[in-house]
């Protein structure tokens, strides 16, 4: 029968078309005669498709669709509603495909609707599975199985793996609403100021840490990704970070632990204080690769991965030599890309890329982007993070971080104001970091340094070297102002406005002539309805930047609300509505 209603032309849902009594969901008209030629019907309580000639036949099911294809009401004559009829037993009819989301390699990813769960999913399909090689099919199944068994908040979940009626293999997974990390970095590199505002370095590092969490979890299950890159990292609209595309993932041999008879095939013997049979390792990942595909030292050399992100051993096709440090290298390349907005290696062709990768010819991060890094604090690239990236990118595996967790500890050290393990931090660097970690003490310490220099200068001649040291210390202290404003922004995202104000006030004590700092402070005070303080902050910002129309608008709104609000009273609803409308237009909070 036709896919559309003969009266109004509306499209008919697959489940409706298989009913004995077919009604259009839009106009309610009969979409096909009820009787005459045999039609398929879903028999409640029996998942099998059976034939019937009319609605009145014993055991037949009548499906009536209201004005939404999302709901199908199923009735059996004389027995009322049946819940079982709400589900589509045919896998082919369960997923309704729409457009192609992405293509890569031999597979295509479609947006689809799961009729039973009533949600959008991503459906990855291996087209022409009947003509594909057995190895291609096995690798596709391996990808679905390995991803589905790696259950982690930052690894894309797999819902279903199956074979469609057309003979093509497919699996369904979470449909991710958001952008890839590659697209985010590209927007920042191309000068998109909004992208740089939404994704400052602090937020990009949070994304990176979630990626590291996912990879570290996979390593704990003896799985290495082998194709980590920004393109395979999805950032959702609400902070989700998901590592995708595990098609090249490899399962490493299990670690042999004391007391386990891994080499002999014997069962583990009971140990003192530990019940027999309890494993110290999580369950092994099992896929068709572990069953059938060749792996291990017999692998033939093959270059599989992405140039610029794969380590030298992978670029040389030494797949049997890959271990966790291959992913560490790729994470280093991603961190380098986050910091510099460029790839670690570049070349005219594949041969040049491989040669540079193997030789370790990586441009120093500070030499990238012409020295301009709009997403970094103060526009300056943090040298400590550059050192972390370069250690992970060492050509020799033994010179890299041994584990992802080691790399994460250095990232966390930077985020919390400590020196990283690979940084050559001298005494003055350590002192500057101490000042950053102890914000309140920093002001006192900075003042003490200044007083000390002045006092010593009153009694003795201060050497040029001492003056340089004092000036550098004070400059380091002032350089923390952008970090403080970034920290304030993070507290605003968590609605901790008091903590945000404390950091803003300290930043302004270091850089009192920053109009943007004063405006941001005014915005927070305005949101808290501390209108008198907000007005003063906006006035100070306009004194430094008279042409700022947004600050002028916020100052006018604040003054109007104050003028209409009696002393000690709360602003009226109309005033609050105007303030809320302005905040929405400015995309604040």
Instruction: Check if the beta carbon of residue 177 is closer than 8 Å to that of residue 237.
Output: yes
Give me the pLDDT at residue 270, please. Answer: 41
Q: How far apart are CA 126 and CA 128, in angstroms?
A: 7
Instruction: Check if the beta carbon of residue 62 is closer than 8 Å to that of residue 75.
Output: yes
Which residues in 348-383 are b (16+ Cβ under 10 Å) and which e? eeeeebbebbeeeebeebeebbeeebbbbbeeebbe
Closest by CA to 239, choosing from 204, 283, 284, is 204
What residues contact residue 536 under an 8 Å CB cut-off, 6+ apart? none
Cβ neighbours of 448 (radius 10 Å)? 11
Band of residue 472 on the pLDDT scale cut at 50, 70, 90: low
261: three-class secondary structure by DSSP? strand
CATH 1.10.1060.10 assigned to 179-254+303-415: no
What mean pLDDT, rounded, does the chain reach?
A: 77
pLDDT, one tens digit per residue, over 392-436 is: 999 999 999 999 999 999 999 898 888 888 876 554 455 555 555
252-266 mean pLDDT? 53
Give me the pLDDT at residue 127, please. Answer: 84
Closest by CA to 476, choosing from 436, 505, 520, is 436
Give me the pLDDT at residue 348, please. Answer: 87
Structure tokens at 388: 């972390």
522-536 mean pLDDT? 90
Place of tokens 């995309």: 587
Structure tokens at 53: 């000639």
pLDDT at 140 over 50: yes
Q: How far apart are CA 316 and CA 382, in angstroms?
A: 32
Spans of all domains in the chain: 1-88, 92-175, 179-254+303-415, 428-478, 481-585
Structure tokens at 564: 């209409």
Structure tokens at 378: 């103060």
What predicted TM-score, i.e. pTM, was given to this entire model? 0.61
What residues contact residue 198 under an 8 Å CB cut-off, 6+ apart? none
Closest by CA to 508, choosing from 482, 532, 470, is 482
Mind giving me the DSSP string for 105-169?
TTEEEEEEEETTTTEEEEEEEETTTTTS-HHHHHHHHHHHHHHHH---TTBPPEEEEEE-TTS-E
- Report in angstroms the alpha-carbon separations of 203 from 210, 272, 339: 11, 47, 12
Instruction: Check if the beta carbon of residue 189 is closer than 8 Å to that of residue 222.
Output: no
pLDDT at 47 over 70: no
Structure tokens at 534: 């907000």
Q: How far apart are CA 330 and CA 393, in angstroms?
A: 8
Alpha-carbon 450 to chain mean position: 45
pLDDT, one tens digit per residue, over 357-378 is: 999 999 889 888 666 788 998 8
Band of residue 89 on the pLDDT scale cut at 50, 70, 90: confident
Instruction: Check if the beta carbon of residue 522 is closer than 8 Å to that of residue 538.
Output: yes
What residues contact residue 223 under an 8 Å CB cut-off, 6+ apart? 146, 150, 246, 249, 250, 251, 252, 285
CATH number assigned to the domain covering 92-175: 3.30.200.20
Three-state SS annotation for 463-475? CHHHHHHHHHHHH
355: three-class secondary structure by DSSP? helix
pLDDT at 505 over 60: yes
What residues contact residue 149 under an 8 Å CB cut-off, 6+ apart? 221, 285, 286, 287
pLDDT at 260 over 90: no
pLDDT, one tens digit per residue, over 191-218 is: 998 999 999 999 999 999 999 999 999 9
Residues in a beta bridge with 76: 80
Give me the pLDDT at residue 129, please. Answer: 75
Domain 481-585, what architecture? Alpha Horseshoe (1.25)
Cβ neighbours of 25 (radius 10 Å)? 22
Q: How far apart are CA 39 and CA 84, in angstroms?
A: 20
Residues in a beta bridge with 123: 110, 172
- According to DSSP, residue 77 is labeled T
Closest by CA to 288, choosing from 110, 148, 173, 95, is 148
pLDDT at 465 over 50: yes
Rg (CA), the chain: 32
Q: How far apart are CA 170 and CA 157, in angstroms?
A: 15
- Look at phi and psi of residue 483 and say left if phi exceeds 0, alpha if psi is from -120 to 50, else beta: alpha
Q: How far apart are CA 443 and CA 437, in angstroms?
A: 12
Q: Which of 112-121, 267-276, 410-419, 487-496 has the lowest mean pLDDT?
A: 267-276
Closest by CA to 182, choosing from 13, 342, 9, is 342
Instruction: Check if the beta carbon of residue 334 is closer than 8 Å to that of residue 208.
Output: yes
């Amino acid at each position: 029968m036709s896919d559309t209603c003969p009266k109004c032309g509306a499209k008919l849902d697959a489940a409706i078309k298989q009913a004995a009594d077919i009604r259009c969901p839009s106009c309610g008209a009969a979409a096909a005669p009820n009787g005459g030629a045999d039609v398929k019907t879903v028999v409640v309580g029996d998942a099998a498709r059976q034939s019937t000639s009319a609605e009145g036949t014993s055991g037949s099911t009548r499906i009536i669709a209201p004005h939404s294809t999302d709901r199908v009401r199923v009735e059996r004559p004389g027995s009322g509603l049946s819940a079982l009829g709400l589900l589509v037993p045919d896998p082919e009819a369960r997923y309704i495909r729409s457009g192609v989301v992405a293509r890569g390699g031999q597979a295509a990813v479609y947006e689809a609707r799961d009729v039973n769960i009533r949600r959008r999913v991503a459906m990855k399909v291996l087209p022409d599975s009947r003509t594909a090689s057995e190895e291609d099919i096995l690798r596709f199944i391996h990808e679905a199985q390995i991803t589905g068994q790696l259950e982690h908040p930052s690894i894309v979940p797999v819902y279903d793996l199956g074979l469609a009626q057309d003979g093509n293999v497919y699996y369904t997974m979470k449909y991710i609403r958001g952008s890839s990390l590659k697209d985010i970095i590209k927007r920042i590199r191309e000068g998109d100021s909004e992208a740089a505002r939404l994704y400052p370095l602090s937020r990009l590092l949070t994304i990176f840490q979630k990626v590291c969490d996912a990879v570290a979890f996979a390593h704990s299950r003896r799985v290495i990704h082998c194709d980590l890159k920004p393109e395979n990292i999805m950032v959702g609209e609400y902070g989700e970070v998901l590592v995708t595309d595990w098609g090249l993932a490899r399962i490493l041999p299990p670690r042999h632990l004391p007391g386990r008879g891994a080499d002999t095939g014997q069962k583990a013997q009971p140990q003192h204080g530990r019940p027999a049979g309890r494993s110290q390792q999580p369950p092994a990942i099992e896929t068709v690769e572990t069953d059938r595909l060749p792996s291990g030292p017999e692998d033939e050399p093959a270059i599989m991965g992405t140039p610029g992100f794969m380590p030298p051993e992978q670029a040389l096709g030494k797949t049997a030599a890959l271990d966790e440090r291959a992913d560490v290298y790729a994470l280093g390349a991603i961190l380098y890309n986050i910091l510099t907005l460029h790839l670690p290696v570049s070349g005219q062709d594949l041969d040049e890329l491989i040669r540079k990768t193997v030789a370790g010819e990586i441009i120093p991060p500070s030499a990238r982007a012409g020295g301009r890094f709009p997403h970094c604090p103060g526009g300056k690239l943090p040298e400590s993070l550059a050192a972390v990236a370069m250690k992970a990118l060492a050509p020799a595996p033994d010179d890299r971080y041994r584990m992802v967790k080691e790399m994460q500890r250095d990232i966390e050290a930077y985020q919390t104001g400590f020196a990283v393990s690979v940084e050559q931090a001298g005494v003055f660097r350590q002192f500057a970091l101490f000042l950053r970690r102890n914000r309140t003490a920093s002001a006192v310490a900075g003042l003490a340094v200044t007083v000390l220099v002045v006092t010593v200068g009153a009694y003795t001649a201060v050497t040029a070297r001492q003056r340089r040291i004092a000036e550098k210390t004070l400059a380091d202290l002032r350089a923390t102002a952008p970090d403080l404003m970034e920290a304030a922004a993070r507290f605003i995202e968590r609605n901790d406005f008091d903590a945000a104000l404390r950091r803003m006030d300290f930043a302004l004590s270091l850089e009192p002539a920053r109009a943007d700092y004063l405006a941001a402070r005014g915005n927070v005070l305005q949101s808290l309805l501390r209108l008198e303080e907000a007005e003063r902050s906006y006035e100070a910002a306009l004194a430094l930047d008279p042409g700022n129309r947004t600050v002028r608008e916020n100052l006018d709104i604040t003054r109007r609300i104050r003028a209409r609000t009696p002393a000690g009273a709360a602003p009226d609803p109309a005033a609050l509505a105007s303030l809320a409308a302005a905040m929405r237009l400015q995309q604040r909070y």
